[in-house]
Amino acid sequence: MIYLDNAATSYPKPPSVYRELVRHITAPMGNPGRSGHRLSREAAGLIYQTREVLARLCGVKDPTGIVLTSGATASLNMAIHGICRGFHRRGILPLAVTDVFEHNSVLRPLFALEREGSLRLKILSPEEDGNLSAGHLLSLDPQMVILTCRSNVTGHHFPLRETLETLRRRGCVVIADGAQAVGSEPCSPEAFGADILCAPGHKGLMGIMGAGFLALRPDCPFLPEPLFSGGSGSASFEEEMPPFLPDRLEAGTPPLAAIAAMGMGASFVLQKGIETIAHGEREMKRLLAEGLSALPQYRMYEPEYQAGPLLFNHRRLTPEALADALEKEGVLVRAGYHCAPLAHRYLGTEETGAVRLSPGAFTTRNQIQITLSVLGKL
């Protein structure tokens, strides 16, 4: 089996992640912060260790600025809804700006808030050079900007760090969707010019589904209002969630095994080196793009982006037929719309969707060569 669907979830995982999972599934586990006995203390210690490794990975000095969630979708909803509510508390109807390359985990919360009259929404398209206009973004003077660090469709990204920093100084809150970037490129909030960075644990961080996080920059203008309320293990007599991080945004019992796997996966990324992983993934994409360019029956979309997935179509076969044919040869890919409808409209694949190849940290040159050979036969 050749697995080229790492943009959906990474596979395989490092052996250390599997060992950590087995340990936490088979060993007794307590509920962190809910009791004072040994098992509860051990669980709380493991969660704090995970915060520490994620803080090192993201360049966050205080581990309490790492808020653990059930995944990137939960993190993005928490950030978008929570910051919008924060502006409302200040009597501001925020203007939110995003772009056509966003995932539905960004678009759908924004559409919902727009429908209910909680924000004004502006969606931008790249200009002729493939980038958003920095001047246009500044002229809009938004209160919220939400952008992906790397498109899950083509790897598209925007060199807007200085522009976003300017907006931050004006009081704008910048939210970064790091789902496709964290684990394979430097990923501090500052690196993206963001106040809040959202990411899952099961993609570039090599964990399993069920855990994610958001990292808050210390000078974020204000904390998001809680999206969920419930037990926090602290300040139990308060009618609202505690005012301090991470308890303010962590309601309910955390998924301990998934958090442990995410922490071990993040440790693997740090040990292997983000630049090493990034170099390997870029090289695999380069080989795929070069190989496909020699096959006239295929059309690629924005292959110039060095990192991230490669999107393409066969000129006669549907994406689904092509994916099925590849699977029969042992190559697993994704076909369809990839939860990014506006990106497909922008790329001209709205009617058909497209096939996505996404190498990962364990993809080899031999696997790429076999894949290209299969595509050549098809």
- Burial environment of residue 16 by CB neighbours within 10 A (0 to 12, 13 to 18, 19 or more): middle
Report the sign of the C-alpha dihedral through residues 96, 99, 103, 108, in that order. positive
Q: Are 261 and 205 in contact (CB under 8 A)?
A: no
**Which residue type, as a one-letter code, is found at position 318?**
T
- CA-CA distance, 235 to 100, in Å (whole number)? 42
CB atoms within 10 A of CB 51: 23
CATH code 3.90.1150.10 region(s) in the chain: 2-9+273-377
Question: Read out DSSP for 6-62?
Answer: TTTS--SPPHHHHHHHHHHHHS----TTT--SHHHHHHHHHHHHHHHHHHHHHT-SS
Take residue 91 and report the two structure tokens written for it.
């009597």
Q: Report the b/e string of 313-329 with b at 16+ CB within 10 A.
A: bbeebebeebbebbeee
Coil, helix or strand for 182?
strand
User: What pLDDT, on the 0 to 100 scale, is given for residue 25?
Assistant: 86
User: What pLDDT, on the 0 to 100 scale, is given for residue 189?
Assistant: 86
What CATH number does the domain located at 15-272 have? 3.40.640.10
Q: Do strands 354-357 and 334-336 pair parallel, antiparallel, or not at all (unpaired)?
A: antiparallel
Q: Tell me the C-alpha to C-alpha distance, in Å, between residue 246 and each of 67, 272, 329.
A: 5, 28, 47
Centroid of chain to Cα 349: 23
User: What pLDDT, on the 0 to 100 scale, is given for residue 120?
Assistant: 98
Tell which CATH architecture fits domain 2-9+273-377. Answer: Alpha-Beta Complex (3.90)
Tens-level pLDDT at each residue, the chain (378 residues):
999 999 999 999 999 999 999 998 888 888 888 888 999 999 999 999 999 999 999 999 999 999 999 999 999 999 999 999 999 999 999 999 999 999 999 999 999 999 999 999 999 998 866 778 888 899 999 999 999 999 999 999 888 888 999 999 999 999 999 999 999 988 888 888 899 999 999 999 999 999 999 999 988 988 999 999 898 888 888 889 999 999 999 999 999 999 999 999 999 999 999 999 999 999 999 999 999 999 999 999 999 999 999 999 999 999 999 999 999 999 999 999 999 999 999 999 999 999 999 999 999 999 999 999 999 999
Q: Do strands 196-200 and 66-69 pair parallel, antiparallel, or not at all (unpaired)?
A: unpaired
Q: Tell me the C-alpha to C-alpha distance, in Å, between residue 4 and each of 203, 245, 284, 331, 355.
A: 12, 37, 10, 7, 11
Q: Check whether the bond before 246 is cis (ω within 30° of 0).
A: yes
What is the reported pTM?
0.95
- Cα 331–Cα 177–Cα 336 angle in degrees, nearest 5: 35
- CA-CA distance, 128 to 132, in Å (whole number)? 9
CATH code 3.40.640.10 region(s) in the chain: 15-272
Q: Report the b/e string of 141-179 with b at 16+ CB within 10 A.
A: ebbbbbbbbbbbbbbbbbebeebbeebbeeebbbbbbbb
Q: Tell me the C-alpha to C-alpha distance, in Å, between residue 317 and each of 281, 309, 324, 354, 375.
A: 27, 20, 11, 11, 12
CA atoms within 13 A on the CB side of 221: 20
End-to-end CA distance of the chain: give it in Å, rounded: 18
